[in-house]
Amino acid sequence: MLSAPGPEPILQPPSTRETCLLRCEHLDARLFIAVLGRRYPADTVATPGQRARVAAQGLPGVPVLSEATALWVHTGLRPPWLAVLDGTGGLPRYPRGSWGPGSPRRSFRSSDLTTIEGVRCCTLARTAVDAARLAPPATAVTAVLAARRADTPRWEMYLALSHCHGDSSRGTARARELIESVWNLG
């Protein structure tokens, strides 16, 4: 007697055809997460390592994830865009724009970078500090609260803030006030 093969678990992003066949309006939001135009099963992007691999997938060279993407990698908050640094030739430089128009170009110290599952990424402290300095207010507060929930020490936030000087110093007063406000909540 012939029988059909049993179901196999989805371990990678389903193809466009598969997603069209599996559409269920009410379940899609629970089962899949849209990341950079592709839909991934939620349980395959549940950890920082999984999210880092997904974000770096298909990028040339040795990318460094930053800003909104680094925030998503560390916390699981959805990235509105991909912010990537070109990691070739020493410390990476960030292209203009991610947290808002006219963001200054800046370099990162090695202490502001971490490696997650082989992918270089800004630390949560540096990501939260950059959001506190440059992002729209709601994103800034969300990022600093996420750092606080992740038990990032206040001194680490201030250390990352101290690395923002010269052209990268825009918004440091706002960031300092936001960090103080969040850490003084209790």
| Residue ranges per structural domain of the chain | 31-183
- 94-108 residue pLDDT tens: 444 455 434 444 568
Question: Running DSSP on this structure, what letter comes out for residue 40?
Answer: E
Q: Answer yes or no: is pLDDT of 182 > 60.
A: yes
pLDDT band at 21 (very low <50, low <70, confident <90, very high): low
Tell me which residue of 172, 153, 171 sits closest to 161, measured CA to CA: 172
What is the reported pLDDT for 9? Answer: 73
C-alpha–C-alpha distance, residues 135 and 70, integer Å: 14
pLDDT band at 4 (very low <50, low <70, confident <90, very high): confident
pLDDT band at 88 (very low <50, low <70, confident <90, very high): very low
Q: What angle do CA 85, 103, 148 make, to 5 degrees?
A: 75
